[in-house]
Amino acid sequence: MSADRSQPRASRSAHWIGRNIGLLLVFAILASSVALYCAIYFAEQKTLPGNFELTSTVNNTMPLAMSALGQAIVILTRGIDLSVGGIMDFTNALAAVHMKADPVSMIVWTVLVLGAGALGGLLNGLLVGYGRLQPILVTLATLSIFQGVALRVLPEPGGAIPPGYTAALVNTDQPYALLYVLGAALLWTALRRTRIGVALYAIGNDEQSARAHGVDVVRTKVIAYTLSGMLAAAGGLCLAANATAGDATSGSGFTLTSIVAVVLGGVSLFGGRGNMIGALAGAFVTTMIVNILFFAHIDPLYQSFYEGLFLIVAVVLGAALGGLLKRGRA
């Protein structure tokens, strides 16, 4: 047990790389999809994509980025939130119906909509945490409930989002929305360094052990689902702002795409491993795939087919690369 057995220690950065292979991989995937996009764009337009393309890509990613963040927090605890799409249906409808063109109404309804999402998430959290019910069942049930409520709020697509609100949230001239992405990343970095942040990882790793060491499992789960609900509401607001109107069915698809973004982002579906920033990058990768398919002139009818194909290739390559990296370190 003395010094003779001590081995040279890996450096801080080596440890960071070891812990964040998933994160590095998703950025590699993001970089290559951006490169592929630029290449196809150049072949098509004889010029490189510019500010307009960047802005529309960022804006189009915002709803998914927000909901993927929430989804990732829940998946970290080894849960899953299928109600994300329902909350986005409900919240984008709510905003489109009620928001008026004056700043006070905008602020008030932003807060109210985020609160409504948080409340929906809280319901999930209470059922999962205190009720000890399976997350997949609870959130599947609340998904239907939120979808129903959304149709009640806005039976036909319609309503309106004031142009000023769209300009503030997803500005169509400049990629200001990147600031929100940056803010989310910073907030996450701070959250990771709180007891709650550590607890999210701890219960995802081993709930029993975490409890044995004083982690409040139930409270942490309630917080995780509440945050997920609130972030889905933020996604719903972005969705409405992009469309400048509401549609009580436009959010449903985000349940699955948010899970895709999270998994692409290197967050383990088995909980306890991964990084929110990876989920953000995963969201951008999914948008890039759509962009690439658009410029490659893929028939929109077959778009989802190629999306799926692209996704499998990305995940397989990622897994292979990750395996190589791990073996290289060992």
Partner 1 sequence: MSDNAQHIADAQAPAVEALRISKSFGGVHALEQASFSAGFGEVHALVGENGAGKSTMIKILGGRLRADAGELRIKGTTATLRSPLEAHAFGLRTVFQELTLLPGMSVSENLLLNHEPRGGLGLIDRRATDRKADALLAELGIHHIDPRALIEDISLAARQVVEIVRAISQDPDILLLDEPTSSLVEREAQWLFGHMRRLRDAGKCVIFTSHRWAEIIGVCTRISIFRNGRDVGSFDSIDEDEAITLMTGRRIDAYFPTPAAHTPAAPQLETRALTGRVLRDVSLTVAPGEIVGVGGLAGQGHRELFFTLFGADKATSGEILIGGATKTIHNPRDAIRAGMALVPEDRKSEGLLLPMAVRDNLTLAILPRIAHLGVLPLGLERQLTSRIVDALKVRTPDVRNAVGNLSGGNQQKVLIGRWLLAEPSVFLLYDVTRGVDVATKREIYDLILRLAAENRAVLFYSSDAEELAHLSHRVLVMREGAIVAQLHNPGLNAEDVVSAAMKVALVS
Q: Which residues bind partner 1 (CB under 8 A)?
A: 1-3, 5-7, 9-10, 12, 15, 18-19, 190, 193-195, 197-198, 201-202, 204-206, 208-215, 268, 272-273
Least separation, in Å, of the C-beta of 189 and partner 1?
9
When the beta carbons of 127 and 267 are compared against partner 1, the nearer one is 267
**Which residues, other chains included, contact 15 with Cβ-Cβ below 8 Å and sequence gap of 6+?**
none
Q: What is the DSSP letter of 244?
A: T
Question: Is the distance from CB of 269 to CB of 127 less than 8 angstroms?
Answer: no
Least separation, in Å, of the C-beta of 140 and partner 1?
22
Joined tokens for residue 57: 């890509």
When the beta carbons of 190 and 301 are compared against partner 1, the nearer one is 190
Q: In the chain, helix, strand, coil percent, each to 5?
A: 75, 0, 25
When the beta carbons of 117 and 272 are compared against partner 1, the nearer one is 272
When the beta carbons of 144 and 194 are compared against partner 1, the nearer one is 194
Least separation, in Å, of the C-beta of 329 and partner 1?
9
Least separation, in Å, of the C-beta of 17 and partner 1?
12
Least separation, in Å, of the C-beta of 4 and partner 1?
9
Going by C-alpha positions, the residue among 84, 278, 123, 277 that lies closest to residue 187 is 277
Least separation, in Å, of the C-beta of 220 and partner 1?
12
Q: What are phi and psi of 181, to 5 degrees?
A: -60, -45
Going by C-alpha positions, the residue among 123, 126, 130 that lies closest to residue 146 is 123
When the beta carbons of 80 and 293 are compared against partner 1, the nearer one is 80
Residue 133 has a CB neighbour count (10 Å cut-off) of 15
When the beta carbons of 5 and 46 are compared against partner 1, the nearer one is 5
Going by C-alpha positions, the residue among 264, 257, 208 that lies closest to residue 78 is 208
When the beta carbons of 16 and 42 are compared against partner 1, the nearer one is 16
In sign, the C-alpha dihedral spanning 41, 182, 251, 73 is: positive
Q: For 2-54, what is the HEC assignment?
A: CHHHCCCCCCHHHHHHHHCHHHHHHHHHHHHHHHHHHHHHHHHHCCCCCHHHH
Joined tokens for residue 282: 């995963």
Least separation, in Å, of the C-beta of 69 and partner 1?
19
When the beta carbons of 6 and 47 are compared against partner 1, the nearer one is 6
Residue 142, helix vs strand vs coil: helix
Least separation, in Å, of the C-beta of 133 and partner 1?
20
Q: What is the DSSP letter of 296?
A: T
